[in-house]
Structure 1
Amino acid sequence: MMKKKVFYPILSTCLLLSLAACSSETADVPKEEKASENVQEEKQTTKVQSSHWSYEGETGPEYWGDLDPANAVCTNGKEQSPINIEMAKTEKDDKIEKLKFNYTPTNFSLANNGHTIQGNPAAIDNSIVVDGEEYMLAQFHFHTPSEHEFNGQGFDMELHLVHKSANNELAVIGLMIKEGSNNPVLEQAWNVLPKEVTTKDVTVTEAIDLIGLLPENKQTFRYEGSLTTPPCSEEVEWIVLEQPIEMSKEQIDLFRQIFEDNHRPVQPLNDRDVDIESSM
């Protein structure tokens, strides 16, 4: 059973902002003055992040904890994400309630924040219910290659659907993406992917039906983790679907032309449990 989390306003601000950035790379982002946390939460991440971390070299994942004292948990944390999910070591927990999706076709706009392509909903009308608590969809974004691994095996990409509760808790769905058929649900978004850092979101011409993105088998893995970008704050509830979805080679290659590699390597599991919830 997942342990109940207590969030504080400043921590939740950090969490939402960094997870919104939770994917990034390639483009060199100009260093800006740090705004207050409250102002950053208002603006979220439709503007370029002011931090100078990256996915390579001296500002890459290995050094995130050294770049800023606020990032210390990137190095010292005990519940960091992503992880390698070893199937044989997962545990069935009958107390976990089945995950409920309340998704409806929604208009989105896209931002290139220098770290990833992020989809921002025009209305807050998508949610999930996790163990009786509702979390509203705040944004989605992509990583390549995948951040989570199954039995040491990664995937071509990973989609993160970031949700926030009324108590400022975060629940993130991780959806693996493998090369295969063209993905029609994301086709209109892919037609307008912003190749450069944006100062204004790009509108997707048609509504995106997120429920259509989900695989037929909705078995999930649950564990307590963190943001996968600085400041790597913990107490994030991760919900990783076992069955991957597909995107065509052309779709994957188009994203990689913008972000060649924007993933954090897997982190130690330490003494955490990975639970299984089956909702076929």
Structure 2
Amino acid sequence: MKISSLGWVFVLIFISITIVSSAQAPPPPKPKPAPAPTPAPKPKPAPAPTPAPKPKPAPTPAPKPAPAPTPAPKPKPAPKPAPGGEVEDETEFSYEMKGNKGPAKWGTLHAEWKMCGTGKMQSPIDLRDKNVVVSNKFGSLRSQYLPSNTTIKNRGHDIMLKFKGGNKGIGVTIRGIKYQLQQLHWHSPSEHTINGKRFALEEHLVHESKDKRYAVVAFLYKLGASNPFLLSLEKQLKKITDTHASEEHVGIIDPQKLSFESIHYYRYSGSLTAPPCSENVIWSISKEIRTVSSKQVKLLRVAVHDASDSNARPLQAINKRMGSH
């Protein structure tokens, strides 16, 4: 279709108006920039957890009082010494060399017996002639006794002939001091030795002074003829053996029958040879060796019912002691 000239005029006018309108129209407002997003608030740090309160320590219990220590058992008192200083009950010690109550242990068994382990003048000793100082000032060894009522007693390791109330005779006098005979007993084999030689039997006559000092006169026996004095006691010894009795009445005995006098003897200061081993003893050992039968020696051992075949204390150190007449 053909457009007339008038039509083109209208078209041009419309286009011009449109262009002018477009030119004069204000530009659209620029869009405001979107506001920056509000940053999310930083999360507050979680509060640190409140530490659980430390548990209070349990109260320390008051310490229990220590139990009272068990009191040590009171030591058994030592057997009481008999007249003559030695104990009458010898079951508290033994002669077993390796036993808990043997000679090496005597000094530990009772406080009253400590001298058995610590003493320096203990008995018995070996009587050696090379150690002897010969002196004539001692005088002859003499006795003066009276007949006395006696008992024979098994002490546990030996047989003791006890003079009741002590023999009221003078007994022996040594260095001006009078000693009364209290008891006599036997050891087998002998406790003292002479120049290293031991004998079958040793007899001890134990005397006591008024101030509790002791004088022991000892006789050594070799095997041979029977001893008359022991023969007179044989009946009582056999009775003790057969009945296990501890003591038997003997009757009147005259100690003078022991034929006491001796011109030659050894003398030294020593101790009792059995507990408590007191060191207040004057020893006089006769150089005259007597005889005893093997049967009599055996009877003395069997009568005590002692398992040991000896009741002789081991030899002790001499420590420069010895005299002889």
How high is the TM-score relative to the length of structure 1? 0.76
Does the 8 A contact of 2:191 with 2:313 survive in 1?
yes
Residue of structure 1 equivalent to 2:119: 77
Residue of structure 1 equivalent to 2:102: 60
Residue of structure 2 equivalent to 1:238: 283
Does the 8 A contact of 1:174 with 1:238 survive in 2?
yes
Distance in 2 between residues matched to 1:115 and 1:239, nearest whole Å: 23
Give the root-mean-square deviation of aligned CA atoms.
2.7
Residue of structure 2 equivalent to 1:222: 267
CA deviation vs aligned residue, 1:114-133 (integer Å, no higher than 9, x gap): 12111011452341111222
* Aligned positions of 1:1-280 closer than 5 A: 34=77, 48-49=89-90, 52-56=92-96, 57-122=99-164, 124-126=167-169, 127-193=171-237, 194-195=240-241, 198-199=245-246, 201-205=247-251, 207-214=252-259, 217-258=262-303, 259=306, 260-272=309-321, 274-277=322-325
Does the 8 A contact of 1:97 with 1:132 survive in 2?
no
User: Residue 222 of structure 1: SS of its match in structure 2?
Assistant: strand
Distance in 2 between residues matched to 1:264 and 1:171, nearest whole Å: 18
**Change over 3 Å in CA distance of 1:62–1:33 after alignment to 2:** closer
Compute the displacement of 1:76 (Å).
1.7
Compute the displacement of 1:198 (Å).
4.2
Greater strand share, structure number: 1
Distance in 2 between residues matched to 1:36 and 1:244, nearest whole Å: 34
Distance in 1 between residues matched to 2:143 and 2:261, nearest whole Å: 13
Compute the displacement of 1:65 (Å).
2.1
- Work out which structure has the larger RCO, using CA pairs closer than 8 Å and 6 or more positions apart in sequence: 1
Does the 8 A contact of 1:172 with 1:236 survive in 2?
yes
**Larger Rg computed on CA atoms:** 2
Identity of aligned residues (%): 34
Compute the displacement of 1:256 (Å).
2.4
- For structure 1, the 5+ residue unaligned runs are 1-31
Does the 8 A contact of 1:215 with 1:243 survive in 2?
no
